[in-house]
Amino acid sequence: MAPAAVFLAAFVVWPLLTFVYDSFFEIEQFGGGRTFVGLDNYGAALASEAFTSASVRTVIYTLIVVTAEFTAGLAVALLFVALGQRSATFRTIFMYPLMIAPVVAGLLWRFLLIDNFGILNQLLFEVGIISSPDQIQWLSNPDIALYAVALPDIWLTTSFITLVLFAGLQNIPGEVIEAARIDGARYPRMLISILVPLLRPVIAVALIVRGIDAARAFDIILIQTDGGPQGSTTTLSLLIYRTMTRFGEPGLASAMGTIYLVAMLVVAVIAVTAIWRPGSNKS
């Protein structure tokens, strides 16, 4: 245990402490001069419109991704269960996006959604849903870009939710379902009153894991829009990255990052201890 602990201390805890420490300084990126400024960076972060709107965007993005994935993931998991063992091969096929790098997925979806020659609009046009192939400006209309950049994330990881829920559904005792059926429960009723409550721990885990990953999304958005148009897809990770590297304000970026870090940890610790309780069934 000691080597692993030393490793994590050196390459996770120590960098994190440095990061938090930096947030109390005004740092010149070149030359390395630094001045202690106390909580000024925090004040500047909280007062900046860029930071508050990026926070809101991060929450919206996370909600879109997790809701869409959960709904689609549960539907497909139920479909797989309904089809029984013979769906095994299809489950494997369904899994493949999990292996694709987020950068590749972002690039791919940018290509599918691009304004003038994107295949998605072309298909929607041919089916007759939209009246011209460039009617929906997926990634260049600031009003919808945040939803559009979420598509690859949803595409990439719905299968994760499906697999986890499928595994959970396999573990529900058959008698419970038979009993409900004898009592005359129909499928929607059974889903809401029996399946979802029994799956609660599995659902909690899936939502926490995905929620945290979605809130950290970086590559998938960077490659599609680089935060644009007009900043409409600049989530916290992107804003902090940009504040640090392009605007050259590491101190301010660290303060923003520390707020983000604390918020994530608070949410995560509450979620983990209250809902998930990992290891509580052990020892």
Partner 1 sequence: MNPLEVRGKSRVMLWLLLAVTLALYGFPFIYLLLTSFKLPIDAIAVPPAVLPDTWTFDNYIAAMSREGVVPALINSVTTAVLSTVMSLVLAVPAAYAITRFRTPSGRVFIFAALITRMVPTIAIGAPLIGVMRDLGISDTTVGLAIAHTTISLPLSIWLMASFFEAVPDELDEAAKVDGCSRLQALRRVVLPVVSGGLAVTAIFAFLASWNEFLFSLLLTSVRAQTTPVVIANFQSQFGLDWGGMTALAALYSVPVILLTLFLQRHIVAGLTLGAVKG
Q: Report the site for partner 1 in 21-50 (rule: CB under 8 A).
A: 22
Q: Amino acid identity of 156? A: L
Shortest distance, position 121 Cβ to partner 1, whole Å: 9
CA-derived radius of gyration, the chain:
23
Q: Is 1 in the site for partner 1 (CB under 8 A)?
A: yes
Q: Is 265 in the site for partner 1 (CB under 8 A)?
A: yes
**Residue placing its CB nearer to partner 1 in the complex, 38 or 279:** 279
Nearby residues of 227 by Cβ (< 8 Å), 6 or more positions away: 221, 233, 234, 235, 238, 239, 242
CB burial class (10 A; 0-12, 13-18, 19+) of residue 241? Answer: middle
**Residue placing its CB nearer to partner 1 in the complex, 4 or 47:** 4
What residues does 36 pair with on adjacent strands?
Answer: 25
List C-alpha distances in Å: 23 to 49, 187, 245. Answer: 19, 54, 15
d(CA 59, CA 214): 9
Shortest distance, position 146 Cβ to partner 1, whole Å: 19
Using the rule CB under 8 A, which residue among 44, 60, 124, 241 binds partner 1? 241
List C-alpha distances in Å: 31 to 53, 111, 149. Answer: 32, 41, 37
Q: Is 184 in the site for partner 1 (CB under 8 A)?
A: no
Q: Binding mask 79-98 vs partner 1 (x if CB under 8 A, - otherwise)?
A: xxxxxx--x--xxxxxxxxx
**Residue placing its CB nearer to partner 1 in the complex, 86 or 143:** 86
Using the rule CB under 8 A, which residue among 3, 31, 38, 128 binds partner 1? 3
**Residue placing its CB nearer to partner 1 in the complex, 28 or 219:** 219
CB atoms within 10 A of CB 175: 8
- Residue 138: both structure tokens together: 């997926």
Total residues binding partner 1 (CB under 8 A) = 95
The DSSP secondary-structure symbol of 272 reads I
Using the rule CB under 8 A, which residue among 63, 218, 229, 231 binds partner 1? 218
Query: Binders of partner 1 among 4-23, rule CB under 8 A?
Result: 4-5, 7-8, 10-12, 14-16, 18-19, 22
Contact call for residues 261 and 174 (beta carbons, < 8 A)? no
Using the rule CB under 8 A, which residue among 67, 71, 135, 170 binds partner 1? 170
Pick from 160, 145, 135: nearest CA to 68: 160
d(CA 53, CA 63): 15
Shortest distance, position 227 Cβ to partner 1, whole Å: 14
**Residue placing its CB nearer to partner 1 in the complex, 59 or 112:** 112
Shortest distance, position 24 Cβ to partner 1, whole Å: 14
Q: Binding mask 102-141 vs partner 1 (x if CB under 8 A, - otherwise)?
A: xxx--xxx-xx---xxxx--x----------x--------
